[in-house]
Structures are given as C-alpha cells and as structure tokens.
Amino acid sequence: MLSEQLEKIKIVPVLVLNTLDEGLAVCEQLCKNGLPAAEITFRTAAAEPVIREVSKRFPEMYVGAGTVLNITDLHRAFDAGAKFAVAPGFNPKVVAEAVKCNLDFFPAVCTPSEVEQAMEFGCRMLKFFPAEACGGIPMLKSIIAPYKHLGVKFMPTGGVKPVNVESYLQIPEVAAVGGTWLNKCDDETIRQAAAIAAKYIKK
C-alpha cells in the first residue's frame, strides 16, 4: 500500500532535474546517503528518462513523478516505471485514469471540499499543497479533524523545510512530507534529513 511505503520513508525529496546524467547522479546520492526516494517533477524534459533509468538502475528506490497535470503526463509516468504520481491540484479525470492504471496517485488538496472529492475516487493519500501558503500546520490539523476516523493520510509539500519538518512529521495523519529543500543539495543535508526521517519511522 502507498501509505505503508511512505511511512517507511517519511521524507520524499522533490526534484527538478535538467539532464539524465544529473538525475542519475542525484538519485545515486540520495540512495547512498540513506534517503532512497524521489518525486521527480514533470517540469523539465529530463523527468521521464530519469524516472525510466532510475527505476532500472536503483530498483530499491521509491521513485515517482510529480507535477502530473493531465492524462498524458500520467501515462508518461506509468510507462516510465514510476511507482507513484503526484499532482499540484485535483483533476477528476486524471484521478480516474490513475485508478484505471492501478498507479498510486495522490492529488493535492487544501480544503475540506477537495478532500471529499478525492475520497469519492477512493484516494486515501493526499498531498497538502502548498502547505505553508495554505496555513501550515494549523490549517492541516483543521482539515484532518473531520476525516480522522476515515484513515486519510497526507503528504504536506511546499514550504516544508528543516526548521518545521519535525512539526509536520509529529502529526499522526502525516504519512510523509515532500522535501523541496533536498533538490540538488550536498551529502550532509541528505544525511541530516535521513536522520530526521528515521526518528519517525515506526519500527
């Protein structure tokens, strides 16, 4: 299950990559330093080939596609071997297609109405985006409250950084966070993030 996989990772680096070589180097760096996961955003032409090659070369890595805006993007992610896909908004057509493809997919929400629309499609893992701009932890807790008994999980992304990441991870309904600060960073920053994640992974 997607939520179980994310619970084992806790911090998913969100990457914008310009070339295949760059993508392979960054993903190798993440694996080497204890953070074998990545949301590779479809903001550049390199995303699809990076996902395809990373899936082959680093099978232990939990790699997915981000910024999936339409059905074409979804099929590109699926065909490249993405293990999950993420959207910055809620598009019912894309969610329905993801269900058909049996691809783990979580759309973004920032209101109760969007949560309920996503749940109608069977989504139980949702991206809370843009997290800090939407009100941060107080807003997320308010959104969680009416649905707590239904087992909905969230992945806050957008404005999550080292100074607030643990406050998000302490929320039981947060399966993981999206880490944009981990885009093309140094080894020590990755190791620090991996150490934080390890504190919240259930043994």
Q: Which long-range contacts (CB under 8 A, 24 or more apart) does 139-146 make?
A: 139/110, 140/168, 140/171, 140/174, 141/171, 143/109, 143/110, 143/111, 143/112, 143/115, 144/171, 144/173, 146/112
Q: Tens digits of per-residue pLDDT, 173-202?
A: 999 999 999 998 999 999 999 999 999 998
| pLDDT at residue 101, as a whole number | 95
Selected catalytic residue, list 10, 48, 127, 153: 127
Selected catalytic residue, list 10, 39, 48, 97: 39
Residue 142: give the domain boundaries: 2-200
Q: What is the pTM of this model?
A: 0.95
Total domains in the fold of the chain: 1
| pLDDT at residue 2, as a whole number | 64
| pLDDT at residue 6, as a whole number | 86
Residues of the chain with pLDDT under 50: 1
Q: Catalytic residue at 127?
A: yes
User: Residue 62, SS3?
Assistant: strand
The residue among 54, 55, 123, 120 whose CA lies nearest residue 86 is: 123
Here the CATH number for the domain that contains residue 173 is 3.20.20.70
Q: How many Å apart are CA 98 and CA 71, to the nearest integer? A: 8
Q: Catalytic residue at 39?
A: yes
